Structure 1
Amino acid sequence: MSKLFCFGLGFSAEALSARLKREGWEIAGTVRSEEKAERLRGLGYEMVTFEGPEGKAKVLRLLEGTTHLLLSIPPRDGDPALEIFADEIGALKSLQWIGYLSTVGVYGDHEGAAVDETTTPKPEKDRSKARVEAEAAWLALGEEIGVPTQVFRLAGIYGPGRSAVQKVQDGTAKRIVKPGQVFSRIHVEDIATVVAASIDKPRQGAIYNVADDEPAPPQDIIAYAAELLGIEPPPEVPFEEADMSPMARSFYSERRRIVNDRIKSELKVTLAYPTYREGLRSLVPPQD
């Protein structure tokens, strides 16, 4: 019996877990709240809340028998799963595969140029620097214990309940324009496809850019979502005048075009949503 354990069973990990559960896998993991743990238990998953070293014993009970380990907790002053559980993970005789969900933010700013997995990361933000360190630490652990370990650098994630469609519907969408700005993105179901393909074809030290085929200006995505819904799009707002949180504004400080050739050539992945157009069309509710 195959068993997936997710440290941080969030949006992306849920998409993968649902797919593997249908194939007969056992699913276990950690989340931050008891409310979410209860919801996932209702799906047949074994779940506990992540409480740091104090909650170590209850996590170890669920780790037992894990064949595939997925890491999805953002690092803060180090990777908490690695710092607390490295020895126990290394001692898991059942373990066959480790996957780490990272971010394309590790590449830093390339002024709109294309980047692939051979591009040396040059993170500028503290959160991206922490990701680079966590990637290296998990790859080193995998090498040390002889378990194939892969890193997935995810572009901007969207999917059901979390997309421009919902933002346009609820009136929170902003059409912010910064000349030359593009973002790469990826539908959550395509993330699940890529990770599942890696499970079927593991390679120690593999790094995969997980993005769709078309980096695009963010205002275009909002405009297309509005068009699909038959709603007038919000007015364009120059970046300099936009009311944005510091976190949101920080994303606009970097430009790069993510190249995704490796997931196709090596993992033989065919994206269900190769551009934002297919992805957003799939998220528009049926019209009466």
Structure 2
Amino acid sequence: MTEQNFFIFGAGYSGKAFAQMRPRDVSVAGTTRSSDKFPALEAAGIKPFVFDGHLTPEIRVQLAKTTHLVVSAAPGDDGDPVLNAARETIMHGMPLLRWIGYLSTVGVYGDHGGAWIDETATCRPKPGRSTMRLDAEQAWHELGEKIARPVAILRLSGIYGPGRNAFVNLENGTAKRLVKKDQVFNRIHVQDISAALWFLARGDYGGVFNVTDDEPAPPQDVVAYAAEKMGVAPPPEIPFETAQLSPMARSFYGENKRVANAAIKALGFTFGMPDYRLALDSMWADGSWRGEGESDRRSPIRRG
């Protein structure tokens, strides 16, 4: 098999989980905005680089031998930071590049009044972050066409997993049960993001894929289930209308949809954590819910 070298722009929570699932014969490099985070990336098996919006000579050397590119960096007012810095390098300085994966969000769909939608649904994002995401998706798609390489757009729902979940929020006292009539959200366990990336990369698949669980559910139900599992009292329900929320949080609740994931399943992919109950049960049983530290040794994330 041809040597595979992955490079992740934006090796944060999802990127580190992705690297932890790598096969032993695959190398993973990735960027962070501060060298202070190098130890965390190295612990996940990632060769670290600093990316501050400009390509260093060291990054260019690494990209020259990269076969698979993963982009997990949010666009800004000036567009996609990776494309701004690396478009010419991707087009002319990555001779071994086979595949590109771009991590986006189901936020690009906007509000659909609680209806079920799939990848064919009309995107009507609110002005701001979601609109910039959709523009970035299109820019990556167009670049893929120019260089004749498949680009997989992964539209992710709310990310959770070890260290980021209702158990942690209950333990630290930040869990809330906001109730808005008929409101549901999809979510996705970081393990399934990682597995989906590996699956699409191995198959050189391009296109748009909703990477999300099977069961959009009211957020207060997730907190209540976790509290029952922990054997603690759930926080009281708070009516959405009277809740003290930031503008960003209130905007988040302004979108309601049920997102289907049939496209990636049609290729043969199986979600390991298809609903929040199974995921919470698993993290509670193996102790991985706290994330890094002692319990992380028993993380459900498969290691190469």
- SS of match in other structure, 1:74: coil
Which whole-Å CA distance do the structure 2 matches of 1:95 and 1:282 have between them? 36
Q: Which moved more, 1:39-48 or 1:65-74?
A: 39-48
> Where in structure 2 are the equivalents of 1:1-150 lying within 5 Å?
1-20=3-22, 22-53=23-54, 55-77=55-77, 78-91=79-92, 92-150=94-152
Which whole-Å CA distance do the structure 1 matches of 2:269 and 2:53 have between them? 36
Structure 1 residue 236, shift from structure 2 partner: 0.1
- SS of match in other structure, 1:14: helix
> Where in structure 2 are the equivalents of 1:197-236 lying within 5 Å?
197-204=199-206, 206-236=207-237
Paired residue type of 2:4:
S
Paired residue type of 2:122:
T
Task: Report the aligned-residue RMSD.
Answer: 1.4
- SS of match in other structure, 2:56: helix
Which whole-Å CA distance do the structure 2 matches of 1:33 and 1:74 have between them? 16
Q: Which residue of 2 aligns with 1:238?
A: 239
Q: Which residue of 1 aligns with 2:251?
A: 250
Q: Which residue of 2 aligns with 1:180?
A: 182
- SS of match in other structure, 1:52: coil
Q: Tell me if structure 2 keeps the 8 A contact 1:29–1:62.
A: no
| Alpha-carbon displacement from aligned partner over 1:169-210 (angstroms, at most 9, x marks no partner) | 111100000001000001010111111111122234x10000
Unaligned runs of 5+ residues in structure 1 are none
- SS of match in other structure, 1:109: coil
> Cα gap change, 1:120/1:56 in structure 2, threshold over 3 Å: closer, same or farther?
farther
Q: Tell me if structure 2 keeps the 8 A contact 1:46–1:62.
A: no
> Cα gap change, 1:212/1:42 in structure 2, threshold over 3 Å: closer, same or farther?
closer
Paired residue type of 1:79:
D
Structure 1 residue 34, shift from structure 2 partner: 1.5
> Cα gap change, 1:52/1:286 in structure 2, threshold over 3 Å: closer, same or farther?
closer
Structure 1 residue 42, shift from structure 2 partner: 4.1
Structure 1 residue 283, shift from structure 2 partner: 2.0
Structure 1 residue 33, shift from structure 2 partner: 2.0
Paired residue type of 2:241:
E
Paired residue type of 2:275:
T
Which whole-Å CA distance do the structure 1 matches of 2:123 and 2:100 have between them? 21
Q: Which moved more, 1:194-203 or 1:182-191?
A: 194-203
Q: Tell me if structure 1 keeps the 8 A contact 2:16–2:46.
A: no
Structure 1 residue 286, shift from structure 2 partner: 6.0
Q: Tell me if structure 1 keeps the 8 A contact 2:67–2:96.
A: yes
> Where in structure 2 are the equivalents of 1:146-185 lying within 5 Å?
146-185=148-187
- Number of aligned positions between the proteins: 283
- SS of match in other structure, 1:221: helix
Question: Structure 1 length normalisation: TM-score?
Answer: 0.94
Moved over 4 A (4+): none
Paired residue type of 2:165:
S
Which whole-Å CA distance do the structure 2 matches of 1:46 and 1:112 have between them? 42
- SS of match in other structure, 2:21: helix
Which whole-Å CA distance do the structure 1 matches of 2:282 and 2:50 have between them? 32
Question: Structure 2 length normalisation: TM-score?
Answer: 0.90
Q: Which moved more, 1:118-127 or 1:92-101?
A: 118-127
Which whole-Å CA distance do the structure 2 matches of 1:132 and 1:58 have between them? 30
Q: Tell me if structure 2 keeps the 8 A contact 1:186–1:210.
A: yes
Paired residue type of 2:80:
D
Which whole-Å CA distance do the structure 1 matches of 2:230 and 2:111 have between them? 34
Q: Which moved more, 1:245-254 or 1:208-217?
A: 245-254
